[in-house]
Amino acid sequence: MKRNQTMMQFFEWHIDADGTHWNRLRDAAPELKTNGITSIWIPPVTKALSVNDTGYGAYDLYDLGEFDQKGTVRTKYGTKQDLMDAISACHEQGLTVYVDLVMNHKAGADEKETFQVIEVAGNNRTKDISKPFDIEGWTKFTFPGRGEQYSSFKWNSEHFNGTDYDARANRGGVFRILGENKRWNEHVDHEFGNYDYLMFADIDYNHPQVREEMTSWGKWLATTLSCNGYRLDAIKHINHDFIKEFATQMVQERGEDFYMVGEFWNPDLSECQQFLDTIDYTMDLFDVSLHYKLQAASQAGKDFDLTTIFENTLIQSHPMNAVTFVDNHDSQPHEALESWVQDWFKQSAYALILLRQDGFPVVFYGDYYGIGGKEPQEGKRSAIDPLLYARYHKAYGEQQDYFDHPNTIGWVRLGIPEIVGSGCAVIMSNSDLGEKRMSLGDQHAGEVWIDCTHNRKDEITIEQDGFATFPVNGGSVSVWTNPKT
């Protein structure tokens, strides 16, 4: 019997840059496994422009904390050996590991060079606002600390199509690089006319050498780390044809079990659906629509109609392709896509992703262990662990919804014979104290259930006909299960 799968995003934006994070993962692996986590998403493993960078300012994709570059051998998170050890520790526990890939841009070039650009409007990248002119741009990547080990590919302005800084004039802007076959890539997000350009030096996926090099790197990385999959960063800014080609190549190289999920951050559900069609379902997508619904519900309180929580979400339209999450390193306070789900609703939000039959849910490190930065917050392990327990041991079998009141919704999972004691009844309220009469089926008759979140202390006896009336506190969630297993 395959247990429910749950991913943990094992980082937040502000974890200490002390080089011990891979060790932290190594040490946490046994406990995460025990608590019901089955997969770990780790941050970018490659050398970034500085040791304090999260990894999204990617410098050398072949330096996993092995070469003295950017003033350090290790990355923010540790050395290559620490990384390998952490992945081994996860594998020993049966946890699969997905690595975060930054493929849209490169940062921290080794040298400047002079090339011709046209400046475009920040809010419309298809609109030229200058004549062609020369700039000095940071686009030459020679990797002096690594030399030609693993790859002899050196990057220059030919391999990029945009940059944001002219060192000659000491000013910023969005500069489109000119040259043969040079243009913004098509098949990218349409915001700002063409959203190929996001930041730093934008990798030009129209260039055949670039496509070849990045594909070859993807294969090298998976083989080197023996990782089980990838999380692809910022793919709405990357030529979608290449994304499909890349995903197909990775599966060919690593096998059908190689798992991929893409960050296609667009709150417009139809854009996400179209993207899945374009890439022919070669990877899953994070359910950004559901994240924004959860945030809206947390902000509106009792004015939000909970019966609509899954309307217009990817989990509803594409249940087999949705990776559900509550918050992440970008949505946390003061970060690029700030849209934090408010505290009072956090446990309910996790119940909505962890205890349903559809979706591959992610638990965010910042919610579990806490976040640092300007507005630090405590972790919510005591609220999330009971839900992980219920997901791993209880949330199986047919799902029946009781989405019949705007302020109080519930659902049941009837349980399956293969997992003794499985089955659960979930009820949540965004207003006052409530209750709901729900049926678990007469196979559960006579069982005495408790709320495994301990938000309620009652003992509820399932009646002869399989029904029981389950209570919930105001602005809270309760997860009723059979404790005797």
The one segment of 14-22, 200-208, 376-384, 396-404 that binds Ca ion by CB under 5 A: 200-208
Would you give the binding string for Ca ion spanning residues 159-198, x where CB under 5 A is met?
-------------------------------------x--
CB of 234 to Ca ion, least distance (A): 8
The one segment of 34-42, 149-157, 199-207, 308-316 that binds Ca ion by CB under 5 A: 199-207
Nearer to Ca ion, 158 or 202 (CB): 202
**Cα separation values, 204 from 22, 144, 198, 245, 272, Å:** 32, 23, 12, 15, 23
66 interacts with Ca ion by CB under 5 A: no
d(CA 381, CA 367): 8
CB of 449 to Ca ion, least distance (A): 52
Out of 202, 233, 335, 367, the only residue in the binding site for Ca ion (CB under 5 A) is: 202
With CB under 5 A as the rule, give the number of residues binding Ca ion. 4
The one segment of 98-106, 213-221, 389-397, 399-407 that binds Ca ion by CB under 5 A: 98-106
459 is catalytic: no
Sign of CA dihedral 210, 215, 221, 227: positive
233 is catalytic: yes
Nearer to Ca ion, 80 or 125 (CB): 125
Out of 104, 266, 282, 408, the only residue in the binding site for Ca ion (CB under 5 A) is: 104
The one segment of 15-23, 26-34, 102-110, 437-445 that binds Ca ion by CB under 5 A: 102-110
Task: Please count the CA atoms within 13 angstroms of the CA of 351 that sit on its side-chain side.
Answer: 27
Q: From the candidates 12, 263, 284, 335, which is the catalytic residue?
A: 263
Nearer to Ca ion, 233 or 327 (CB): 233
Interface positions, 263-302, toward Ca ion (CB under 5 A) = none
- Residues with Cβ within 8 Å of residue 356, at least 6 apart in sequence: 315, 395, 399, 411
Pairing of strands 424-429, 408-413: antiparallel
The one segment of 70-78, 230-238, 305-313, 469-477 that binds Ca ion by CB under 5 A: 230-238
**Cα separation values, 209 from 101, 155, 179, Å:** 19, 10, 15
d(CA 55, CA 36): 28
Out of 237, 254, 356, 393, the only residue in the binding site for Ca ion (CB under 5 A) is: 237
Nearer to Ca ion, 203 or 352 (CB): 203
Q: From the candidates 100, 189, 233, 451, which is the catalytic residue?
A: 233
Nearer to Ca ion, 176 or 237 (CB): 237
What positions carry a catalytic annotation?
233, 263
Residues of the shown chain interacting with Ca ion in the complex, contacts defined by CB under 5 A: 104, 196, 202, 237
